[in-house]
Structure 1
Amino acid sequence: MTDAESVPELPTDLDAVRDALVDWYEADHREFPWRRTEDPYEILVSEVMSQQTQLDRVVPAWEDFLDEWPTTADLAAADRADVVAFWSDHSLGYNNRAKYLHEAAEQVEAEFGGSFPKDPDGLSELMGVGPYTANAVASFAFDNGDAVVDTNVKRVLYRAFDVPDDDDAFERVASRLMPAGESRVWNNAIMELGGVACGKRPRCDEAGCPWREWCAAYQTGDFTAPDVPEQPSFEGSRRQFRGRIVRLLGEHDEMELDALGHRIRVDYAPDGERGREWLRGLVDDLADDGLVEADPSGDEVVVSLRR
């Protein structure tokens, strides 16, 4: 079976996986203004501006653009040279995006009666709107899209579920994971996960990644990905977990071994691969370095900083 034909085994309780991600996203996420609207025009402008442009630079440009041309009718009636000049003045990259956006507004007004198509196929008929942008607008404006698969999402799926570096495999797994009829919240959530917790340098614990207990990369410490060819030097390393142990013991006078394990790894299981034997190895290393003491207390091992 080729990579294109294979799909890795996913967790058996997919509802738990889905709920964990959506709950994490809804509890706290980056507040971009286009996430507070369901207007397809405003979302299309954000998607076109965000192509290869940092989002913190997009926010003021997006707000200024909509102040200048608040509707497709306004944009369609504008002089194209003014739209291109705006694009250039705000350093938004290739000026042909401004031309395409202007033409798309003209199409909406002339061919669709001022109303946007509501599905990816219809949106793809607009000038300059490719499959990814069409799906994003369908998802975020109409909750009517497919699973988004961008570079960030591929990185998440590759690390979390061992999806092979193959576009067809990514598409199939992404589609299987997304709850039916919930493209708006799901695509926002998984893109947020890739942008905040699972970047090229992952921030699993710092960002409270909701998929740590299922994530293959978190369990093995191998955080390579299609766009991360080299192993990050710190995340998931023994050095990182040694640091966590020392910090925790600085906050507590002493901790039992298993209690310490559960605090430094969300997937800690005493008898598991990253369990008591693995943790005792870290503690012994720190003890050899003169940093901690590990004393038996009945059936438990109690660990404390060496004073």
Structure 2
Amino acid sequence: MSDAAAADALPEETDAVRTALIEWYERDHRAFPWRETDDPYAILVCEVMSQQTQLDRVVDAWEAFLDRWPTVDSLADADRADVVGFWSDQRLGYNNRARYLHEAARQVVSAYDGSFPDSPAELEELMGVGPYTANAVASFAFDAGDAVVDTNVKRVLYRAFDVPDDDEAFEATAGRLMPDGRSRVWNNAIMELGGVACEKTPRCDEADCPWREWCHAYRTGDFTAPDVPTQPEFEGSRRQMRGRVVRALGEHGPLDIDTLGHRVRVDYAPDGDRGRAWLRDLLSDLADDGLVDVDDGDDEGRVRLRR
């Protein structure tokens, strides 16, 4: 979708649309603690934690993490096993994100002398920081980002302005709509709109949606939304088992293969389908991710968190 086509998708009163959303957000919005800071380190921690995790669940973990490692320097100096253990204890999922966050902190200290870069392009050079996270940190810490386009924003644009279910169309329309130099308030506001008013089940009137007078869905009653990929079941998943391995090693220290296996699965049987071969395959992935070491000096092997 071209910039001109994006402009055609928007109402003629674009300035009024922008003003209405910002004023709605500034009157009242959910009070998350990371919205009260422009510290790029604290914002990066929040963005990494909130991947695949609801924001209400992130608050306690984020505050506890910053209590323990309050600065990027303190995180860079930490033992990686401690960081991974914290992540597992908080059940934040995908423990390799803890490893990436720790490595990103070391990069900031070693390559940037402890000061975060402020552009999305430079932020994306940090370990585990993709385009969305880089842009979010640039927006919320430095007010220097592009328009954020996440699932909530796509749903808002699709319903409000009848934007096609196409990533290029969403990017172009979001970029055209965001006021210059106001990425911090704008991206917070449009994500808030998707989070409290234009949810899967819309709450247009209850949430006093500021875009009702321009909204295609509100006018037509068609509140369909873009397709969202279904997340795989967590219970019994490889992701869950990886977390159990890390948690067991964090709680009990190094363990031999079979002792670890029985702590990970109640149905663990050394020679069974969910036995040593299965566990070693799981451990191989964790070792490749830099999370564990396996000592094969004896018949069964011994596993420890990597430090």
Shorter-normalised TM-score: what interval?
0.7 to 0.9
Q: Deviation per CA, 1:92-125, whole angstroms, max 9, x where unpaired? A: 0100000000000000000001000001001000
User: What is the rounded CA distance, in whole Å, between the counterparts of 2:98 and 2:111 in structure 1?
Assistant: 20
Partner of 2:128: 128
> Where do 1:209-288 residues align within 5 Å?
209-227=209-227
- Cross-structure match for 1:146: 146
Give the superposition deviation at 1:68. 0.2
- Counterpart residue type for residue 207 of structure 1: A
TM-score using structure 2 length: 0.72
Cα pair distance change 1:83/1:228, threshold 3 Å: closer
In structure 1, the residue matched to 2:165 is: 165
* Residues 108-123 of structure 1: pairs in structure 2 closer than 5 A: 108-123=108-123
Q: CA deviation at 1:161?
A: 0.2
For residue 96 of structure 1, what is the aligned residue in structure 2?
Answer: 96
CA RMSD of aligned residues (A): 1.6
**Whole-angstrom CA distance in 2 between matches of 1:227 and 1:157:** 13
| Amino acid in the other structure paired with 2:134 | A
Once the two structures are TM-superposed, the CA of residue 3 in structure 1 deviates from its matched residue by: 9.8
Distance in 2, matches of 1:105 and 1:3, equals 38
1:66 paired with 2:66, answer yes
Q: Distance in 2 between matches of 1:227 and 1:153?
A: 13
- Counterpart for residue 191 of structure 2: 191
Task: Quote the sequence identity (%).
Answer: 76
Whether the 8 Å CA contact 2:40–2:116 is kept in 1: the answer is: yes
> Structure with the greater relative contact order (CA < 8 A, sep ≥ 6): 1 or 2?
2
Q: CA deviation at 1:54?
A: 1.3
Superposition deviation, residue 5 in structure 1: 9.2
Q: 1:93 to 1:23 in 2, by over 3 A?
A: same
Regions of 4+ moved over 3 Å: 2-8
Q: Deviations over 1:261-283 (max 9, x none)?
A: xxxxxxxxxxxxxxxxxxxxxxx
- Cα contact 2:9–2:173 (8 A) shared by 1: no
Contact 2:76 2:105 in 1 (8 A): yes
Q: What is the CA deviation profile of residues 191-220 of structure 1, one whole-angstrom value per residue up to 9, with x for unaligned ones?
A: 000000001000000000000000000000
Shift of residue 9, structure 1, vs aligned partner: 2.8
The TM-score with structure 1 as length reference comes to 0.72
CA displacement, residues 195-250 of structure 1 (integer Å, 9 cap, x when unaligned): 00001000000000000000000000000011379xxxxxxxxxxxxxxxxxxxxx
Residues 54 and 9 of structure 1: is their aligned pair in 2 closer, same or farther, counting only changes over 3 Å? closer
Measure the CA separation in 1 of the matches of 2:4 and 2:96: 37
Aligned in 2, Cα 1:196/1:114: closer, same or farther, shift over 3 Å? same
* Cα deviation digits, residues 18-66 of structure 1 (max 9, x gap): 0000000000000000000000000000000000011111000000000
Tell me the equivalent position of 1:251: none
Distance verdict in 2 for CA 1:228–1:203, change over 3 Å: farther
Amino acid of the structure 1 residue aligned with 2:181: G
Match of 1:38 in 2: 38
Which structure has the bigger radius of gyration? 1
Q: Matches of 1:165 and 1:125 in 2, distance apart? A: 29
1:10 deviates by: 1.2
Q: Deviations over 1:136-162 (max 9, x none)?
A: 000000000000000000000000000
Retained in 2: the 8 A contact 1:196–1:203?
A: yes
Unaligned runs of 5+ in 2: 230-307
Residue type matched to 2:203 in 1? Answer: R
Equivalent residue, structure 2, for 1:76: 76
CA distance in structure 2 between the aligned counterparts of 1:44 and 1:147, rounded to whole angstroms: 17
CA–CA separation in structure 1 for the residues paired with 2:72 and 2:228: 39
d(CA) in 1 for partners of 2:117 and 2:42? 14
Matches within 5 A, 1:44-59: 44-59=44-59
Distance 1:227 1:197 in 2: 19
Q: Which residue of 1 aligns with 2:301?
A: none
For the 8 Å contact 2:151–2:228, the answer to whether it is kept is no
Letter in 2 for 1:142: F
